[in-house]
Amino acid sequence: MRFRPVTVADHRADRNHVPPTRARRRRAGLFLAMASRVSQTLKWFMLATGMLASVAGAQQTAPTDSVKVRPAPPLNEVNYAPLTIGQKISLYDDRTYSIRALLGASYAAGIAQWRHTPREWGSGISGYGRRAAAAYGGGLIRHTTEFGVGAILHEDPRFEPSTHDGFAPRAEDALWHTIVVRNDDGNHQPAWSRLTAAFVTGFAVNSWEPRRMHSTHHAISLSLASLANYATSNLVQEFTPDVKHFLLHGTSLEGKF
């Protein structure tokens, strides 16, 4: 039997070899560090958003607004009136911390549980809890980012109904208003708050998914899905009143669809 002499490369390989257990601990440590950085970033972002909202509210609202904030009225294209910062905060609270938001996260978690994705989170109550927390966390980041950027750029966060008749023109307006919003002057401008919120949400959600799913491609896919949520919401808000009138009062849908 011939023995191969030990070389310098062999010593380096032995020195760089990491046992499987230590490698797993190292990966877990890196993931926890990354999660900690993400949570710290979100904490400071929400704190900065709250400070900006407070400053803007002190500048734009009257003293009586701090006592009682009137609910945000529907957007009226003819007699347009901008929202106060207090009304924007109230709208943000309703979209983020309401029962509707919790039910939406619960529904999304149920779909993910049924599809068993991601599989690393398992099943049962614990798996459902992680999926529900992830769904609600994604919504929290999306709405908070949209509110913060929109407040800085003076965007109007309300849904703008279509002024046209027929299904196709109204659906086109609903989709168009996904990426275009009004500002406080009543003029249209790109919806930078929604585009930024969709982008940030995709990468934030991807950061707390299992490691095998961490990729730029998957994060961008999640961002596009978040933007699609805005489009779906606009379509629902556009046609829901007609469906309600039809079901409750028997109103004809002719000319509306």
**What is the per-residue pLDDT for 252?**
57
With pLDDT > 70 as the criterion, what percentage of the chain qualifies?
66
Query: Which residue is associated with the tokens 């929109």?
Result: 150
Q: In angstroms, rounded to a whole number, what is the distance separating the alpha carbons of residues 86 and 129?
A: 33
**What is the per-residue pLDDT for 7?**
60
Query: Which residue is associated with the tokens 């027929």?
Result: 166
Q: Is 250 left (phi over 0), alpha (psi -120 to 50) or beta?
A: left
**What is the per-residue pLDDT for 61?**
42
Question: What is the Cα 192 distance to its own chain's centre?
Answer: 14
Which stretch of 74-88, 111-125, 172-186, 220-234 has the lowest confidence by average pLDDT? Answer: 74-88
**DSSP letters for 80-125:** --PPPHHHHHHHHHHHHSSHHHHHHHHHHHHHHHHHT-SGGG-SHH
Name the more confident of 196 and 28.
196
Do you find a cis peptide bond into 118, omega within 30 degrees of 0? yes
- pLDDT, tens digit (0-9, with 9 covering 90-100), for 188-241: 999 999 999 999 999 999 999 999 999 999 999 999 999 999 999 999 999 998
Q: In angstroms, rounded to a whole number, what is the distance separating the alpha carbons of residues 102 and 143?
A: 13
List the one residue out of 147, 34, 58 whose CA is nearest residue 96: 147
**What is the per-residue pLDDT for 67?**
41
Task: Please state the rounded mean pLDDT for residues 121-133.
Answer: 92
**What is the per-residue pLDDT for 80?**
82
Give the global pTM. 0.69
Q: In angstroms, rounded to a whole number, what is the distance separating the alpha carbons of residues 51 and 53?
A: 5
Phi, psi of 252 (to 5 degrees): -70, 140
- pLDDT, tens digit (0-9, with 9 covering 90-100), for 32-86: 555 455 545 554 555 455 445 444 444 444 443 444 555 666 666 667 888 999 9
Q: Which amino acid is at 201?
A: T
Query: CB under 8 Å to 71, separation ≥6 — which residues?
Result: 87, 90
Strand intervals (E) in the chain: 180-182, 188-190
Q: How far is CA 124 from CA 104, 109, 238, in A?
A: 19, 12, 37
According to DSSP, residue 5 is labeled: P
Q: In angstroms, rounded to a whole number, what is the distance separating the alpha carbons of residues 213 and 112?
A: 15
Q: What is the dihedral of CA 214, 233, 159, 245, to 10 degrees?
A: -170
Q: How far is CA 55 from CA 48, 63, 64, in A?
A: 11, 14, 16
